[in-house]
Amino acid sequence: MTETQLAIIGAGLAGLTAARVAHETGIPSRLLEASDRIGGRIDSLRSAGGGIVGDLGPTWIWPPFQPGVPRWLEKLGLDTFEQYDHGEAVLDGFADGPVRQPLPGQHGMARIAPGPGALVDAMAAALPDDTIQTGCAVSAIHRHEDGRLQIEAPGQPPLLAERVLIAAPLRIVAERIQLPPEVSPQLQDTLGAMPTWMAAQAKAVIRYPRPFWRESGLSGRIASRLGPLFEAHDHTAPEGGAALFGFVATPPEHRDRAPLREAIIAQLTRCLGPDAALPSEVVIHDWAEETWICADADRHGPPEHPRVGPDALRAGHLDGRLWFCAAETAEQSPGLIEGALLAGEAAARAAVQRLQGAA
């Protein structure tokens, strides 16, 4: 059996933020991640040299309305740039053929340079080398006889922790992690009822030699009733690397890669012209296939927009030893990048305060 002051389950952005906050206050932590990578819903398409060339998960932030984001970006030394939205959009399936038309933009929409993956990299870079353990799928948390929490994961020695933060998606926790019996049935029901934002979504990144759509006065934005992408946007980086990205409308059970790829290229060619038929790369990331992101309830239920959950999601449990801090627990921007930052930060500060008070 090993021991730690603070254990954090889930190495997505919320868990990494919590570990970073704890580290800065002098509290060591163990960060347990079930999958073979860190970042959670943030994943990046990278070049052969390791540079970020596309976002396979979230892309946008809204700094004027999300004060937690610029505060953390400044702390981490990261910059932003405007989402390209100059020119006309294309409406697809609203008339006999594609229609070019201006669409209202979203004020304040921006992107992180070179992508949200830089947030993950920067958070992790500040942590001691032995903080993060991937491939560690927590299956149960028990109350030890001395009051501490004992974490069980198949193939791993038990981990005894003074405080535990759960940064995994709430529905994954409800479906796959056995919590101590002292956790109320009402809280268990609350966890299962909180959808994981974009968990069953598939996203496509389509790279091109040049942003040809801009040359013809198009923004790269598409709104479609025909699909397979129900919307698409310019995804070109400021320093180059022309690309589009789109959200896939096809249900999870029909997302066969090869026909989906061909249908995406056909749609983009229909909407943007013959240059769209010659992409340099098409990458489809199906989040519904992510075992530790998409719960059964997310995969088979209707998509739901994040909502602010009940206070129990932000409160300490088991005498302040157990806290939840997935992005969906946040009071502001639940499910989004800011929500992950704020939730991880708040839970870590609460746990650290308890640890320091008990010292």
Average pLDDT, the chain: 96
The residue with greater pLDDT, 179 or 47, is: 179
Closest to 4 measured CA to CA, from 213, 198, 160, 171: 160
Q: Is 182 exposed, middle or buried (0-12, 13-18, 19+ CB in 10 A)?
A: exposed
DSSP state at residue 328: G
pLDDT over 80 (residue 34): yes
30 backbone φψ class: left, alpha, beta (φ>0; ψ -120 to 50): beta
Query: Taking residues 39-67, what's their average pLDDT?
Result: 95
Supply the CATH classification number for the domain 82-108+200-289.
3.90.660.10
SS3 state at 123: helix
**DSSP β-bridge partners for residue 150:** 142, 160
pLDDT at 359 over 70: no
- Fold match between 1-59+115-198+306-359 and 82-108+200-289? no
Structure tokens at 242: 């022309």
The β-bridge partners of 132 are 31
Alpha carbon distances (Å) from 298 to 294, 308, 331, 338, 343: 6, 17, 21, 21, 21
Question: Which pairing describes strands 202-207 and 281-286: parallel, antiparallel, or unpaired?
Answer: antiparallel
Q: What is the mean pLDDT of residues 319-339?
A: 97
353 token code pair: 């305060």
* Percentage of residues of the chain with pLDDT beyond 70: 100
26: which strand partners?
none
For the chain, which residues make up each domain, given as ranges?
1-59+115-198+306-359, 82-108+200-289
Q: For the residues 21-46, what does the mean pLDDT come to?
A: 97
Q: What is the reported pLDDT for 322?
A: 98
Contact present, 163 and 351 (Cβ < 8 Å): yes
Token code pair at residue 212: 């040809």
Task: Give the number of other Cβ atoms within 10 Å of residue 247's Cβ.
Answer: 17
State the DSSP string of 178-201. Answer: BPPTTS-HHHHHHHHHSPPTTTT-
- The crossing angle, in degrees rounded to 10, of helices 117-125 and 13-24 is 30
Q: Please say if the pLDDT value at position 142 is more than 80.
A: yes
pLDDT-based confidence at residue 357 (cuts at 50, 70, 90): confident
Q: Is the peptide bond before 102 cis (omega within 30 degrees of 0)?
A: no
Domain 1-59+115-198+306-359 is classified in which CATH homologous superfamily? FAD/NAD(P)-binding domain (3.50.50.60)
pLDDT of 111 above 70: yes
- Asked whether residue 240 carries a pLDDT value surpassing 80, the answer given is no
Closest Cα to residue 63, out of 42, 80, 75? Answer: 80
Give this prediction's pTM.
Answer: 0.97
